[in-house]
Amino acid sequence: MGGTSSKLPKDLLSEYQELTFLTKQEILLAHKIFSELQGGENGPYSSRVSMQKILTLPELKANPFRKRLCHVFSTSDMKDGSLNFEDFLDLLSAFSDTATLEIKSHYAFRIFDFDDDGTLDARDLEKLVNCLTGETDDTRLTAEEMRQLISNILEESDIDKDGTVNLSEFQHVISRSPDFVSSFKIVL
């Protein structure tokens, strides 16, 4: 704190290195990008950047889950999806190369849980598929196909047959998905 706006104190840097999955270079780069988003203000580390500004990042601009990402990682009391620097580091750490499968799958579950009720039910899954394929009418699956798809997903992943996918079922499915770790990655 203090000094030029682009300096991250060494002790904080080593602490972040200890507590997240990011390397030193990644933390410094994240700090640089975050400072730019803050508009060059040398605010304390708890100052927040609004969701709109975060969404202008090139890594997130093209991501259909960007709003959900902000909501999941935000620790703001106002639930507006704003992130402070440590939230930002959380996000990057969960999406880094070295983060474990448990962490990634946990956050993936929360991102996909659109109504935040702790399970993925048919409505969540439908919203998820629509996010993936596109929002316009000609890029969606037909109602019949959606029904078939959701019933297939539930058949594959719902072990206790309650019609929803809970976290352990989700993690069970993810652990057998070989592409998950390589696709659940954000690189600055």
Partner 1 sequence: MCLRFLTVMHCFARSAQRRLQSSTQTSTHLHINTQTSTHLHINTQTSTHLHINTQTSTHLHINTQTSTRFAFSIAALINTQAVKRWSGVTGEFDPDQDGRARCRQQRLQQGGALTGWGLWRLNVHRSLKRLKEDGMDVLSSLQLWRADIHLIEGMFGTGILSYFSFLRFLVLLNFIMFLLMFVFVMLPMIITSHSAHNVTYSSSSNVSVCSEYLGSSRQGLVVFHEHITDLLSGTGFLEHTYLFYGYYKLEFIHSHFTYNLPLAYLLATVTYLLLSLVWIVKRSAAGFKRKLIQDEDRFQSFCNKVFAGWDFCITNENAARLKRSSLLYELKMDLEEERIKRKMANRTRGEKCRIYALRAALNLFVMAVLVACFYCIYEATVFSQRKQAEDQKSNFLLELVVEYLPSIVITLANFITPLIFNLIINFEDYSPAFEIRFTLMRCVFMRLASIGVLLFSLWDQITSCRNSGCPCGYNHQLYPCWETHIGQEMYKLVIFDFLIIAAVIIFVEFPRKIIVNYCDCGLVKWWGQQEFAIPQNVLEIVYGQTICWIGTFYCPLLPAINTVKYILVFYLKKVSLVTNCRPATRPFRASSSNFFFLVVLLIGLALASVPVIVSIAEIRSSRACGPFMSYNTSWEVVPRVVSQLPPSLCSFLQALASEAFAVSFFVITCLGMFYVIALAGAHKRVIEHLRDQLAMEGHDKRFLIQKLCQAQQAVYAHSPERRPPRGFRGNRYKAGMYLVEPLVELEMQV
Binders of partner 1 among residues 139 to 168 (CB under 8 A) are 139, 141, 145, 148-149, 152-153, 155-157, 159-162, 164, 166-168
Residue 6 near partner 1 by CB under 8 A: no
Residue 114 near partner 1 by CB under 8 A: no
Residue 43 near partner 1 by CB under 8 A: no
- List the x/- string, 123-142, binding to partner 1 by CB under 8 A: --x--xx--xxx----x-x-
Q: How many CB atoms are closer than 10 A to CB 2? A: 7
Tokens 């991501």 belong to 63
- Complex with partner 1: residue 40 or 145, whichever CB lies closer: 145
Binders of partner 1 among residues 168 to 187 (CB under 8 A) are 168-174, 176-180, 182-187
CA neighbor of 88 nearest in space, from 45, 131, 43: 45
The secondary structure of the chain in percent helix, strand, coil, rounded to multiples of 5, reads: 55, 0, 40
Asked if 74 and 82 count as a contact pair (C-beta separation under 8 A), the reply is yes
- List the x/- string, 79-108, binding to partner 1 by CB under 8 A: -------x---x--xxx--xxx-xx--x-x
Looking at 5, 6, 14, 47, which residue binds partner 1 (CB under 8 A)?
14
To 10 degrees, what angle do helices 143-157 and 122-133 make?
120
Smallest gap from Cβ 36 to partner 1, in A, equals 17
- Spatial CB neighbours of 57, under 8 Å, sequence gap ≥ 6: 33, 37
Smallest gap from Cβ 39 to partner 1, in A, equals 22
Asked if 94 and 102 count as a contact pair (C-beta separation under 8 A), the reply is no
Smallest gap from Cβ 70 to partner 1, in A, equals 14
